[in-house]
Chain A
Amino acid sequence: MKVPAWLRKSRGWLLPLVLAVLLGSPVLAGADTMKVSLDNQSLYAEPNYSGTPITPVPAGAEVKVVTTSGDWYKVEYQGNTGWMHRGAFAQAQTPQLNLPGMLFGGGVKQTKSDEVALAGKGFTPEVEAGYRQKHPEMNFALVDQVESFKVDNAKLQAFIKEGGLTP
């Protein structure tokens, strides 16, 4: 195959430049298909839980990731396109390779104050921690207890069936 003249001339610097771009890219994303690991998930029209779900997505289903926005993944599932929160993929992390990090060490360590402000979420666990320190009378231990209570999905389905309710 005949190599164009401009490419012949540029071969000297093209390969190193491509290497630099590849090495310098902050993230090299891996597979674009992810497996849903939590029960009772849904596709949403917008990247938030407020809207009406488009369709349910069971645990174990594989979805194709189109794009991401913060904690939300735009995915395709059975002909539908919608948004799913990353929490639905609790155990399935997209493989990421950060060569610069491996070669030159991690990023600049910021203080907690910076993390609070720069996380993109104004009210974060760090803000809650500060609030708890200021208000020891608030009973967060009981809140944790309430949140730790989970209804088993199989038991809930049996409960719904026994009561003649709609699954």
Chain B
Amino acid sequence: MRRRTMGAMFLALSLTLVWGCAGMDYASVASIAVKTTVKAAEASRPISDSEEYYIGRAVAARVLGTSRLVQDPQLTLYVNEVGETVARKSPRPHTYKGYHFAVLDSSEPNAFACPGGLIFVTKGLVVMCGNEDELAAVLAHEVAHIANKDGINSISKARWTEVLTTLGTETAKQYAGAGGQLITLFEGSIDDVFKTIVVNGYSRAAEEAADAQAIKTLQKAGYDPGAMAALLAKMMAKKGAGSSGIFKTHPPTGDRLAKVKSETPAATPNKMEAVRTKRFESIKM
């Protein structure tokens, strides 16, 4: 009996060593095998929230590589307050690291939504808005692009498939440096998103969906939903519309304005709008 107990103890200790001793080769091999199985299961997974965040950071870094940031704490705070107010009423009130809004030092009216929640609006567009509700319309529209994942969805499917393939084969390569390949694929993904949000612009369908969502968000937040149509009308009236900046990336057309107007519910006049306009005008630009 004692011999059997000793034998069992030895067996148990051996099992413990196999499970517990991280230094043993077959333990680490087993660990890698498990991870490989996880990788195989992930073969067609979408881009995760944290990956979206890192792509957005790099796109923002590229924008800020050529644009200056307005270093005005009062204006930055105000834009963030308006932006947060609408973001919380959007279909995606939270992102991996939250929404952050900043003003670019450019007189050309424009706005960009980097994946993950970094939103830029130019000083020129803030000035064009003229009141808080129109600024809220701009920011609600950009938040809608993030909620709809319009930027992140511009990464080519072939490129993302290659990312997943690289991840799946890394265990076999071990120290072969597939990290370098991932960086190249990351670089390509940044190019895809940057081209869409800065150079070529979103598709018309994506713009119209963002307009429709912005109207709903404005209404939920308590802003005038008519501010979206008012802003588009201003953009269309601006000389040179359609050639550059937001007119290229957010083309305002008669059809788009008509669609926005048809989707805008009749708003009850809100006496607090005057308070909001007053605080907008108190921000020195």
Contact = CB atoms under 8 A, between A and B. Distances in A.
Contact of A16 (B9, B85, B190): B9
A143 B118 contact: yes
Nearest to B53: A123
B69 interface: yes
Contact of A112 (B147, B179, B186): B179
A138 B65 contact: yes
B54 A130 contact: no
Interface stretch (A29-37, A45-53, A58-66, A73-81): A45-53
Interface residues of B, number: 94
B239 interface: no
B50 interface: yes
A52 B91 contact: yes
Interface residues of A, number: 73
A49 B57 CA distance: 18
A166 B57 contact: no
Interface of B: 1, 4-5, 7-9, 11-13, 15-23, 27-28, 31-32, 35, 38-39, 42, 47-51, 54-55, 57-58, 60-62, 64-65, 69, 76-77, 80-81, 84-85, 88-89, 91-98, 100, 102, 118, 132, 147, 149, 163-164, 166-167, 170-171, 173-175, 177-180, 182-183, 185-187, 189-190, 220-223, 270-273, 275-276, 279
Interface string A122-140: 1111111011101101111
B142 to A, nearest CB: 14
A108 interface: yes
Contact of B23 (A17, A105, A122, A130): A105
List the 4 closest pairs (A to B, CB-CB), nearest first.
A164-B272, A100-B20, A24-B19, A13-B8
A42 B93 CA distance: 9
